[in-house]
């Protein structure tokens, strides 16, 4: 495993001491002599840890965002594991043919590949399409049993060390496996997810999904092991050790949505590590009409109630520093109370920045006043975004209903939608102007929120609406 400094990290020297500083989010770490030597080497290019102790230190810096892993793909075929690719299908002969054609072009030794298509009772010629492409066809044991049950049947027939799950409405990039397999060099890693990209760009929904799909986990590597956060890997681009899959009894056959969340959470609960890499690209044919798009988002939402029953320890978490919360409240009151409230807000901001600077000074960590104020304002902006996003995603229907009764209340849902959508539009940079983006954004939140409510109501469990409020960001393990 190689490592290199993250692009947004600076090396700072102050009074003979050295520090690494990341500005997004604001974070500083002091370097002792051995760590400074590692950083010097990392500044010159990718480095390899010489000892287990160096590996442990570098992994801690990775967890805190100062260092990035630089995975190398082995050119020796003898070092590569055997892989069984499992594809569930029901009545998608055309899409399946396209998927299998992409798999036949993979840059991976053919002798190490096994392709399994699990037919879930198709009424078309999906099974024949699979056989003509050289895939092994396995029946799911019924009709419409669902992707989870189909994948489990495929795993039973698999002989590869690694199970690679992909959906029939997806295609794989040529380097799909070669870019993800190196993550398994870490013996603790049970599952690896890769980048999911949109296949089509014709409709506005296609262009929205290209950057906002819940299947796409972004451009930064993520790792999860212990803990009670909600990080998971989607099953349309998921590689997993076969032994790890069997150790947790695979997918839950009874689940038709959210089964990938449940499986990867169970892996973490059993002490395994899961990893997301912004590599190993798979192209997904998203639902391109508003009706099908909203229907799928509703389905996703219904899984929240069941997942909360199965994993009661996992909660949504939100960092709400008390002084920033007070600052936000004062800013929200200002239009109704006058300029003196803004003066109070400025005083709270100064107090908050002073407290942070004092804590850093006690640890002899240097930081300029401008960088500190900028960092606190970014933290305030993040708090506003997450509050608005949560309101729109889970409470848009009651907020709009209340606004119909109290017209002035329209400011709340409209302001929350405008804030959340504007931030996501600026960060995700879709090929859509803001107005259609915001419209689709609102429909997504309404559909998902309705699904979440229905799923919780049908199971009489509303625990997923509870949010754990933290005063500060928890330290990475």
Inside any domain, residue 41? yes
CA-based nearest residue to 168, from 283, 84, 36, 13: 283
> Residue 474's pLDDT is what?
55
401 and 386 within one domain: yes
Inside any domain, residue 401? yes
Structure tokens at 178: 């070669």
> Residue 476's pLDDT is what?
40
Q: In what order do the strands lie in the sheet with 196-198?
A: 170-172, 282-284, 196-198
> Residue 73's pLDDT is what?
58
Tell me whether residue 132 is exposed, middle or buried, using C-beta atoms within 10 angstroms of its C-beta: 0 to 12, 13 to 18, 19 or more: exposed
281 and 197 within one domain: yes
92 and 60 within one domain: no
243 and 101 within one domain: yes
Inside any domain, residue 309? no
282 and 160 within one domain: yes
Number of structural domains in the chain: 3
- C-alpha span between 85 and 139 (Å, rounded): 15
257 and 135 within one domain: yes
119 and 244 within one domain: yes
- C-alpha span between 307 and 300 (Å, rounded): 11
Q: Is residue 107 within 8 Å of residue 153, measured between CB atoms? A: no
Bond preceding residue 25 cis, omega within 30 of 0: yes
Inside any domain, residue 301? no
> Residue 477's pLDDT is what?
38
206 and 108 within one domain: yes
CA distances from 297 to 106, 443, 467 (A): 31, 9, 21
CA-based nearest residue to 28, from 19, 37, 38: 19
162 and 58 within one domain: no
228 and 86 within one domain: yes
Inside any domain, residue 398? yes
Q: Is residue 335 within 8 Å of residue 326, measured between CB atoms? A: no
Final residue of a structural domain among 70, 85, 119:
70
Inside any domain, residue 307? no
> Residue 24's pLDDT is what?
61
Q: Which domain holds residue 156?
A: 77-288
Final residue of a structural domain among 70, 96, 119:
70
The percent of the chain in helix, strand and coil, each rounded to the nearest 5, is: 50, 20, 30
The model's pTM: 0.85
Write the Ramachandran bin of 338: left for phi over 0, alpha for psi from -120 to 50, otherwise beta: left
Our measurement of the distance from residue 121's CA atom to the centroid of its chain's CA atoms, rounded to an integer in Å, reads 32
Helix axes 369-405, 322-337, angle to 10 degrees: 60
Inside any domain, residue 294? no
- Residue 202, C-beta contacts closer than 8 angstroms, at least 6 positions apart: 288
Chain length of the chain: 477
Structure tokens at 444: 């997504």
With a cut of 50, list the residues of the chain below it in pLDDT.
Answer: 475-477
85 and 66 within one domain: no
Final residue of a structural domain among 273, 288, 303:
288
Q: Read off the CATH number of the domain in which 265 is found.
A: 3.90.550.10
368 and 407 within one domain: yes
Tell me whether residue 294 is exposed, middle or buried, using C-beta atoms within 10 angstroms of its C-beta: 0 to 12, 13 to 18, 19 or more: buried
- C-alpha span between 301 and 86 (Å, rounded): 26
- Residue 391, C-beta contacts closer than 8 angstroms, at least 6 positions apart: 399, 412, 413, 416
Inside any domain, residue 296? no
């Amino acid at each position: 495993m190689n490592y290199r400094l993250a692009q947004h990290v600076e090396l700072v020297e102050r009074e003979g001491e050295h520090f690494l500083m990341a500005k997004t989010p604001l974070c500083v770490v002091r370097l002792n002599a051995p760590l400074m030597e590692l950083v010097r080497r990392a500044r010159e290019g990718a480095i390899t840890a010489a000892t287990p102790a160096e590996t442990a230190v570098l992994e801690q810096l990775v967890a805190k965002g100062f260092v990035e892993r630089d995975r190398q793909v082995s050119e020796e075929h003898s070092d590569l594991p055997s892989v069984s690719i499992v594809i569930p299908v029901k009545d998608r002969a055309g899409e399946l043919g396209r998927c299998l054609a992409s798999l036949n072009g993979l840059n991976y030794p053919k002798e190490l590949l096994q392709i399994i298509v699990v037919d879930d009772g198709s009424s078309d010629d999906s099974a024949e399409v699979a056989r003509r492409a050289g895939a092994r066809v396995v029946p799911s044991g019924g009709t419409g049993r669902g992707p989870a049950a189909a994948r489990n049947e495929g795993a039973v027939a698999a002989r590869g060390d690694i199970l690679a799950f992909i959906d029939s409405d997806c295609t794989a990039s040529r380097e799909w496996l070669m870019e993800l397999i190196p993550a398994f060099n870490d013996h603790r890693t049970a599952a690896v997810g890769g980048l999911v990209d949109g296949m089509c760009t014709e409709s506005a929904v296609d262009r929205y999904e290209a950057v906002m799909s819940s299947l796409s986990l972004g451009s930064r590597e993520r790792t999860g092991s212990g803990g009670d956060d909600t990080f998971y890997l989607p099953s349309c681009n998921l590689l997993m050790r076969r032994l790890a899959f069997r150790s947790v009894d695979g997918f839950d056959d009874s689940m038709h949505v959210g089964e990938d969340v449940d499986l990867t959470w169970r892996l973490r609960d059993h002490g395994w590590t899961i990893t997301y890499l912004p590599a190993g690209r798979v192209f997904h044919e998203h639902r391109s009409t508003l009706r099908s798009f909203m229907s799928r988002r509703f389905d996703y939402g219904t899984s929240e109630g069941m997942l909360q029953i199965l994993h009661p320890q996992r909660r949504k978490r939100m960092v709400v520093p008390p002084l920033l919360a007070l600052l936000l409240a004062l800013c929200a009151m200002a239009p109704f109370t006058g300029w003196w409230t803004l003066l109070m807000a400025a005083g709270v901001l100064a107090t908050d920045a002073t407290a942070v600077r004092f804590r850093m000074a006690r640890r002899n960590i240097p930081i300029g006043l401008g960088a500190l104020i900028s960092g606190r304002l970014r933290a305030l902006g993040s708090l506003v975004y997450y509050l608005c996003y949560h309101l729109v995603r889970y409470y848009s229907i009651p907020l709009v209903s209340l606004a119909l009764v109290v017209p002035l209340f329209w400011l709340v849902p409209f302001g929350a939608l405008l804030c959340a959508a504007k931030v996501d539009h600026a960060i995700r940079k879709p090929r859509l102007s803001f107005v259609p983006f915001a419209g689709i954004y609102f429909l997504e939140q309404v559909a998902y929120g309705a699904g979440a409510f229905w799923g919780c109501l049908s199971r009489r469990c509303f625990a997923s609406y509870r949010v754990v409020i933290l005063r500060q960001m928890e330290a990475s393990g």
